[in-house]
Amino acid sequence: MDVIETVREMQATAESLRQGGQTIALVPTMGYLHEAHLELMRVGKRHADKLVISIFVNPTQFGPSEDFNRYPRDPEGDLDKAKSVGVDIVFMPPVEEMYPHGFQTTVSVSQLSQHLCGLSRPGHFDGVATVVCKLFNITKPHIAIFGQKDYQQLSIISRMVMDLNMDIQIIGVPTVREPDGLAMSSRNAYLSQDQRPSALCLKQSLDLASRLVEEGHQKASDIKKAVEDLIRSHPYTKIDYVSICDPVTLEEIDHVEKSTLLALAVKVGQTRLIDNCILEVKE
């Protein structure tokens, strides 16, 4: 497994792989790798000749009062895990390499960024779209793999690829969960032992809403109310949003009449957790 830290070397390596007829899969990450990242990597491995991952905690997607400085980091452990799933190349640039002096260009997927997490994290998705666009230009992948836990991120990246005619196939991988249902996330490391049971309210909410829809409930406000009550019954929780929306445009809807996205963001103590599911309506 090679570890590359400069843009120039990564681009040259990717170019020579392409010249040699090899296909490249990219899994972009911010490190502190866990089982869900490893699953993205296994999918990547199956879809291309060479698997590249990036490990870069991207400062531009964190707001001024967010957790950039304390975001968990474990470069040594990450390299061991990457090796264990057969990653070929780890691209691990320092911040100055990605954002040299004078950097000023932003990719903004304007409408999709206005909903859900975009409302409470202004600028976040511009930071994500910009860094992912850069990572695509640097690692030159044929395929890139993202988790469906970050549904809005996946939608925004798919839209960017479409709008800017990037010749890259985007693959979304279903959310990987802990045995008790909590969606895997590097931020789960922030949860105290006391708070950990409250974090289950997200998956419980998805299950409750799915059950309500299955039983024939359609009114979004009723489903939301049931979910909000469930979340509030857990200590340490503060709802950021409960959204029932169109899975393509992310615009709120009033009635669940076709496949609909339920997306949640809940603070448990200081830790902001997200989760989502598609509410399926029987024909």
Looking at the annotation, which residues are catalytic?
A: 37
Nearest to ligand PAF of 57, 227 (CB atom): 57
Q: Does 172 bind ligand PAF (CB under 6 A)?
A: no
Segment near ligand PAF (CB under 6 A), from 39-47, 127-135, 166-174, 216-224? 127-135
Distance of CA 156 to the CA centre of its chain: 10
Helix (H) / strand (E) containing 273 = strand 271-279
- Residue 263 binding ligand PAF, by CB under 6 A: no
CB closer to ligand PAF out of 17 and 147: 147
Which residue lies nearer to ligand PAF by CB, 39 or 150? 150
Q: Which one of residues 13, 61, 260, 276 is an interface residue with ligand PAF (CB under 6 A)?
A: 61
Rounded alpha-carbon distances, angstroms, from residue 181 to 40, 184, 203, 207, 258:
18, 9, 6, 10, 25
Nearer of residues 186 and 205 to ligand PAF, judged by Cβ? 186
Q: What is the rounded CA–CA span in Å between residue 161 and residue 166?
A: 5
Task: Tell me how far, at minimum, the Cβ of 54 lies from ligand PAF, in Å.
Answer: 7
Closest distance of CB 128 from ligand PAF, Å: 5
Q: What is the widest separation between alpha-carbon atoms in the chain?
A: 58
Min dist CB 135 to ligand PAF, Å, is 7
- Per CB under 6 A, the list member of 4, 89, 112, 132 interacting with ligand PAF is 132
Q: Which is nearer to ligand PAF, 94 or 235 (CB)?
A: 94
Q: How many residues does this entry show for the chain?
A: 283
84 vs 88: CA distance, rounded Å: 11
Q: Which of residues 28-47 bind ligand PAF (CB under 6 A)?
A: 28-30
Selected binder of ligand PAF within 58, 113, 130, 205 (CB under 6 A)? 58
By the 8 A CB rule, do 52 and 139 touch?
A: yes
Under a CB-based contact definition with an 8 Å cutoff, are residues 112 and 152 in contact? Answer: yes
Distance of CA 170 to the CA centre of its chain: 13
Residue tagged 């089982």 (tokens)? 35
Binding span for ligand PAF by CB under 6 A among 3-11, 22-30, 98-106, 174-182: 22-30
Beta strands (DSSP E) in 56-115 are 89-91
DSSP three-state, residue 34:
coil
- Binding residues (CB under 6 A) for ligand PAF: these are 28-30, 58, 61, 128, 131-132, 150, 153
